[in-house]
Amino acid sequence: MQQAPTNNSQMRTAAIVTIVVIIGLLLLGRFVTGMMGNDNTPTTSDTINNTNSGNTDLNPQNNNTNNTTDTSNLGPVVAAQNIDRDNCAVDATTSFDDNDPIYVVLEDSQLPKGTSMFARMYRDGTAIEDTRELVAEEDYNNTCVSFVFEPTDRAEVWDAGNYEVEFYVNGNAYQSTSFQIR
């Protein structure tokens, strides 16, 4: 039978060992799942941010409850090299290197609850990837919505060519941005 630690030094040592083991298990889990998830297609991440409330809760599994497409309160779509903490474009550009992540941003927009959106990437006029659909769970004002397209570990670079990303709002094409990859 194992004895419980009897003094503060032994208790601290036991706590440190426990924490190190937990951290090791978490890192091992991330390493294993990261290796299993790679394929040769680009990957995307997507975010919506309400710069007024800071709430970023989305549920992409809900059915669209807002079937109208009023685009009068939607901002421009731009491609950028980065995004800020509010998911708005930083360093908008029309040219990327072959290993750059590509951020595509719907800027300064009003999104009513239930608005759905996704982005579709084209290379030389052929659709190559859709992002997952986002659905606004509440009204958003002065919002930036960003999607990022990245090469994966197996396809470490983009093919050179002319690209376009088109935003779809409530199932309807809204606006696109074009760029080149060198």
Q: Could you give the strand order of the β-sheet that contains 77-83, starting from the edge strand earlier in sequence?
A: 43-50, 140-150, 102-111, 77-83, 89-92
* Residue showing tokens 């397209």: 149
The confidence band for 156, taking pLDDT boundaries of 50, 70 and 90, is confident
How far is the C-alpha of 75 from the C-alpha of 91, rounded, in Å?
17
Mean pLDDT of 85-95: 94
Is residue 143 classed as helix, strand or coil in its secondary structure? strand
Q: Indicate the Cα dihedral angle 169, 171, 172, 175, nearest 10°.
A: 40
Residue 63: pLDDT over 50: no
How far is the C-alpha of 73 from the C-alpha of 134, rounded, in Å?
18
Residue 91: pLDDT over 70: yes
Residue 107: pLDDT over 80: yes
The confidence band for 89, taking pLDDT boundaries of 50, 70 and 90, is very high
pLDDT at res. 59? 36
For a pLDDT cut of 90, what percent of the chain falls above it? 51
Mean pLDDT of the chain: 77
Question: Which residues contact residue 20 at a Cβ distance below 8 angstroms, ignoring those fewer than 6 apart?
Answer: none
Q: Give phi and psi for 174, each to the nearest 5.
A: -105, -70
pLDDT at res. 60? 37
pTM of the prediction? 0.63
pLDDT tens-digit map of 14-39: 767 667 666 655 555 544 434 333 33
* Residue showing tokens 């930036």: 144
Query: Residue 38 is encoded by which pair of tokens?
Result: 């790679």
Q: HEC profile for 114-144?
A: CCEEEEEEEECCEEEEECCCEEECCCEEEEE
* Residue showing tokens 């908008």: 92
Q: Are 100 and 81 in contact (CB under 8 A)?
A: yes
Which has more pLDDT, 87 or 2? 87
Residue 93: pLDDT over 80: yes
How far is the C-alpha of 77 from the C-alpha of 75, rounded, in Å?
7
